[in-house]
Amino acid sequence: MMIEEMGRARPSGRRMARAGALVALAAGATLLVAACSSGSAAGAGGAASAPAATAAPAAATTDLTGGGGYGGGAAATQAPAASAEAEGGEAYEVGLGKDATVGSYLTGEGGRTLYIFTKDSPGKTVCYDQCAANWPPFTLTAGETIKAAAGVSGTFGTITRTDGSSQVTYKEQPLYYYVADKKAGDVVGQGVGGVWFVAAP
């Protein structure tokens, strides 16, 4: 009787094989889930985070009253660009502006008025430091050249400043912008200190 009961209790070989296959399948599924989870974590960990945006610096103010700049106005928040931007080394055209009071004058980048400083000598500038901050020199970068607009008959050239930049000259007089001129057509620098005047064609 005990032998017969033991025979009924023992599982057949087919049932044991099926159970073993289920265990193996469950183990394989566990390994697959673990591998996928590991790959996802690695991908998330390797993703580069975007750099935090940096705040733009506050606009610096320029004192127009000191440092040899011969400025007489209020502080300007931004100086006009000092260099002529000509793509691919093309010639940069110096234009002409006209004012009812001062007459015709040379214009540089963006139509801004160009000036001369009567304390300069032909082919030489004495405007540096605070003076150059108030009156940014009109300069060219490597490969840029100047051509005259219709009605401009004088000769353009360049001189080398102490910082190595090339300042444009007209009839041998170095050319400058004025920080108090806010837009094309402004001639605020005319007659400042009795030594600054628009560059006449």
Tens of each residue's pLDDT in the chain, 201 residues: 443 444 444 444 444 444 444 445 545 545 444 444 444 444 444 444 444 444 444 444 444 533 455 554 434 434 444 444 444 566 888 999 999 999 999 999 999 999 999 999 999 999 999 999 999 999 999 889 998 999 898 999 999 999 999 999 999 999 999 999 999 999 999 999 999 999 999
Helix-, strand-, coil-residue percentages of the chain, each rounded to 5: 30, 25, 50
Question: Which residues are CB-contacts of 2 (< 8 A; sequence separation ≥ 6)?
Answer: none
Give backbone dihedrals phi and psi of 33, rounded to 5 degrees, phi first: -60, -40
Strand partners, 174: 169
Q: Quote the CA–CA distance of 23 and 38 in Å, as a whole number.
A: 23
pLDDT at 48: 44
Q: Tokens for 108?
A: 């540089």
Indicate the SS3 state at residue 43.
Answer: helix
Strand partners, 154: none
Q: List helix spans (H) across 122-164.
A: 130-134
pLDDT at 91: 81
Q: Quote the CA–CA distance of 136 and 189 in Å, as a whole number.
A: 12
Give the number of other Cβ atoms within 10 Å of residue 131's Cβ.
20
Residue count of the chain? 201
Say if residues 137 and 176 touch (Cβ distance below 8 Å): yes
Q: Is 67 exposed, middle or buried (0-12, 13-18, 19+ CB in 10 A)?
A: middle
Q: Quote the CA–CA distance of 190 and 193 in Å, as a whole number.
A: 9
pLDDT at 93: 87
pLDDT at 133: 98
